[in-house]
Chains A and B, each alone.
Chain A
């Protein structure tokens, strides 16, 4: 199972803390599309712009690494991987 954890505003807006997704190898974008289907709520527009780029202020980690250091939305995830989604707090 792949674990998808929702944090901060995404958790509140989607009323979802965590999803367990059964899937073989899949890329991040495809995984998140499956998550949308599973909870029947659209949220990709909160993460990506129309060109599919991450919206500044949004962060996606795969096993604790920012996907911008990996292959962005094409990063492959596998069983037992953990995907963390959130806009972190930017103020001080």
Chain B
């Protein structure tokens, strides 16, 4: 209890013990351990989440180092989930980290995921096809916080069984054929906001259901677009 108190004392001073306790008993699936996944995972660990299941199939490449905060030059060519697991576990050791080196597009993806329980999903993926596949994991009592980034802008929303779906919002969108340009600062910004919305969901206070929050660093604007679920 002493360790709990010391490490999370600043959190508890702000959001109180009840909410800290909820976090310690919660688990989140982080899909995609790229830019957004790294920020979301690190914040959730520092917030005191009980368990993180992290998913990615890729290895760390040089262009990842401008924004993927869990990795350094020493991690090149290592699997992202393995390097992330080591770094996240070293922060305080109180969060259980489960690394899954699999692709969302793998045939056995859903079968593998049925072995794990989680309260919510962080969509930190980098393509629409995988995002649409990921939201199929949603159960009646789980939520998905979606984030996307490009250049110096990005967007966030919370998806539930009852809300509008990613497949509805992004109908017709195709995966980028070329290299996507992304600044480090928008990744940190959107990742932080995603983590905040995940905490809000865990506490039963989601702010972005049927709302798309668009963040633009070009003019420091935050805009909420009301989304309408399809009938």
Total contacts A-B at CB 8 Å: 102
Q: Which residues of A contact B216 (CB under 8 A)?
A: 7-8, 11
Looking across the interface, which residue of chain B has its beta carbon closest to that of A84? B225
Which one of A9, A56, A64, A89 contacts B226 once the chains associate, using CB atoms below 8 Å? Answer: A64
Cα separation A86 to B225 with both chains bound (whole Å): 12
Tell whether A50 is near chain B: CB-to-CB under 8 Å. no
* Majority DSSP secondary structure for residues of A touching B: mixed
B219 at the interface (CB under 8 A from A): yes
Say yes or no: B223 contacts A5, CB within 8 Å: yes
Chain B residues near A92: list those with CB within 8 A: 32, 34-37, 123-126, 147-149
Known: A64-B227, A69-B168, A92-B126. A86 touches B214 (CB 8 A): yes
Q: Which of B10-18, B106-114, B170-178 contacts A (4 or more CB under 8 A)?
A: B170-178
Distance in angstroms from A13 CB to nearest chain B CB is 10
In the bound assembly, the distance between CA atoms of A54 and B227 in angstroms comes to 20
In the complex where A8-B153, A56-B172 touch, is A88 in contact with B148 (Cβ < 8 A)? yes
A92 to B104, CA, bound (A): 14
A residues with a Cβ closer than 8 A to B are 5, 7-9, 11-12, 17, 54, 56-57, 59, 61, 63-66, 68-69, 84, 86-92
Interface residues of B (CB under 8 A from A): 32, 34-37, 123-128, 147-151, 153-155, 164, 168-176, 180, 182, 186, 190, 210, 212, 214, 216, 218-219, 221, 223, 225-228, 230
Seed contacts A90-B175, A90-B180; 17 additional CB < 8 Å A-B pairs: A8-B153, A12-B218, A63-B226, A63-B228, A66-B170, A69-B168, A69-B171, A84-B225, A89-B148, A89-B151, A89-B154, A90-B126, A90-B173, A91-B182, A92-B123, A92-B147, A92-B148
